[in-house]
Amino acid sequence: MKKIILTLAIAISSMVVFAKDVKVSTVVLSAFNTEFGDAKEVQWTVGTGFYKAAFIYNEQYVTAFYSFDGQMLGLARNISSLDLPGNLQTSLKKDYADRWITELFEVSNEDGTHYYITLEQADSKITLKSSNGGKWSVYKKSTKA
C-alpha cells in the first residue's frame, strides 16, 4: 500500500480522471475535518483502495490520501528547492548543476518524509528520491523524444 501511495504522489498531475461527484464516506470526511478543518477548495477523487483530497491549507496546495476506513496514508505538497534539507540542496548543486527542476514535492507518511525531484536537460529527464533527508537515489530515468 505504501508503494501505491508513493507512486500516486509521483503521478499527482497525471492521475486518471474520476467522477466529479465523489461520495466520500463519513468516516473519511470526519478524519479529514479533524486534521484539516480550515481547508479550502477541497476536491475529492477516488482510486482503487483510497480517497484523494486536493485542497488549500495554510495558503499552500496540499494533497492527502486516505484509506476507505479513514486512515491517512500520506500527505504530499509542492515545495521550493530552498525547503529541502541543506545536504540535499548541496548535492543537487554539485551533481546536477546542468539540469533544471521541473517538479519537486514532499511526501509524508508513517515511514517519514520523502522528497521527489524531477530534473531535466535537453535530451533527458531524471526523478530522484530522498527518504528522511538521506542521499538522493535515482527513482526514474527517461529520454526525451
Q: What CATH number should be reported for the domain holding residue 58? A: 3.10.450.360
Q: How crowded is residue 64: how many other Cβ atoms within 10 Å of its Cβ? A: 24
Alpha-carbon gap, residue 83 to 110, rounded angstroms: 20
**If you average pLDDT over residues 107-134, what whole number do you get?**
95
**For residue 28, how many other CB atoms are within 10 A of its CB?**
22
8, 69: one domain: yes
Domain that holds residue 119: 81-143
Q: Domain check: are 31 and 64 in the same one?
A: yes
Tell me: the pLDDT tens digits for 77-120?
A: 999 999 999 999 999 999 999 999 999 999 999 999 999 999 99
Rounded to two decimals, the pTM is 0.75
* pLDDT tens column, 36-71: 999 999 999 998 889 999 999 999 999 999 999 999
At 11 the pLDDT is 44
Answer yes or no: do 59 and 103 share one domain. no
What is the domain-level CATH number for residue 96? 3.10.450
pLDDT higher than 90, residue 21: no
Q: How many domains, the chain? A: 2
